[in-house]
Structure 1
Amino acid sequence: MGPEGALTHIPRLRRYARLLTGDASRADDLVQDTLERACHKWSLWRPREDGSGLRGWLLSLMHNLYLNQVRDQVHERQAVELDEGNEPSHDPFLHTPERLDLEQALRQLNPALREVVLLVCVEEMPYAEAAQVLGVPAGTVMSRLSRGREQLRHLMDGGAPVQTRTPRLKIVK
């Protein structure tokens, strides 16, 4: 199977990208970047014995590209704030919308929680496959899913975003 096998996964990639970015044009750019990277790195993909795994590999590529883009945006924003001499704003409630719908609530979730909720609930991935896509243990996926669902319930009931700190984990060799 060649790169043309990825074409059947475009609708799922677009849906996942749209929910990650919250913007149709940024989502389309992310899908395009993902497919471009998949074509360049096609030799690295290894199908499973049952012939599956392409969807997970493509979603892993998209996940990593999205994280890179978010990281770059943070660095650019910090550079602009420093150039302008403005003090960075740390008010998490600055742009809280008056009325929440599911997409807005998803955008307010911590990115780590949002990614798990999207993969497991929207893309209907098993925990093990979502763990592989995100590069975390399956237990972490289950924990994040539980916290993400609870925060979504809270947000959909009209509550303010719950401030959770992302645990700083060290990679131990």
Structure 2
Amino acid sequence: MSQLAGLRRYALSLTRHEADAEDLVHDTLLQAHQSRRSFRPDGNLQAWLMGILHNRFIDRKRSAAAAARRDEAAGRLQPTFAAPQQEDSVRLAQVRRAFLELPEEQRSVLHLVAIEELSYQETADVLGVPIGTVMSRVARARERLREIEASPKKGAVAFKIVGGRDDAY
């Protein structure tokens, strides 16, 4: 299924735990199979599946057991790093950490728009919110990422260009 990779990425973005993400994708595919008659042949399959996945996630979020697992998983997702080999891997880890710090509403919208490349309208359909809400959440998410980027954390290491000039660009 060509949609599987996108479903997994979105599920991991929402749950922040690999095993929970796989369970969510499995539940989504099962629900999609059971509801296959509700899919319009002229509809967007990706948006339909993402909508099911999102709704399954919300259902799980309301469950106390799932909330306890996510809380536990959030603590395990804090990556630990040995001396990084490449600056890119460190930068990617910083961006990932900042992304995971976003509130769930902003994180899910930004994931669908920026990573899954859904349009604002498709994202609004997936989440069941007005397109203006999607636009607002994307703007707030991007602003929050800029704020996180601008405020260095205590103990963070500032990078210095070695063998070049900081103002080379």
Q: Do the structures match in fold with TM over 0.5?
A: yes
**SS across alignment from 2:54:** helix
The amino acid across from 1:66 in the alignment is F
User: Contact between 2:28 and 2:52, CA under 8 Å: does it hold in 1?
Assistant: yes
Structure 2 regions of 5+ residues with no counterpart?
A: 69-77, 81-89, 154-169
User: Contact between 1:56 and 1:129, CA under 8 Å: does it hold in 2?
Assistant: yes
TM-score of the aligned structures, taking structure 2 as reference length: 0.70
- Match for residue 146 of structure 1 among 134, 139, 144: 139
Structure 1 regions of 5+ residues with no counterpart?
A: 1-6, 78-95, 161-173
Q: Residue 44 of structure 2 corresponds to which residue in structure 1? A: 53
Residues in 1 aligned to 2:39 and 2:29: alpha-carbon distance in whole angstroms: 13
Q: Is 1:73 matched with 2:67? A: no
Q: Is 1:39 matched with 2:33? A: yes
| Distance change (3 Å), C-alpha of 1:75 and 1:125 | closer
Task: State the identity %.
Answer: 38
Larger Rg over CA atoms: 2
User: Contact between 1:13 and 1:59, CA under 8 Å: does it hold in 2?
Assistant: yes
**Displacement of 1:57:** 0.4
| Distance change (3 Å), C-alpha of 1:46 and 1:21 | same
- Match for residue 116 of structure 2 among 114, 117, 123: 123
**Displacement of 1:8:** 1.5
Residues in 2 aligned to 1:61 and 1:37: alpha-carbon distance in whole angstroms: 7
Aligned residues: 133
- Match for residue 10 of structure 1 among 4, 27, 34: 4
Residue pairs, 1:78-157, within 5 angstroms: 101-157=94-150
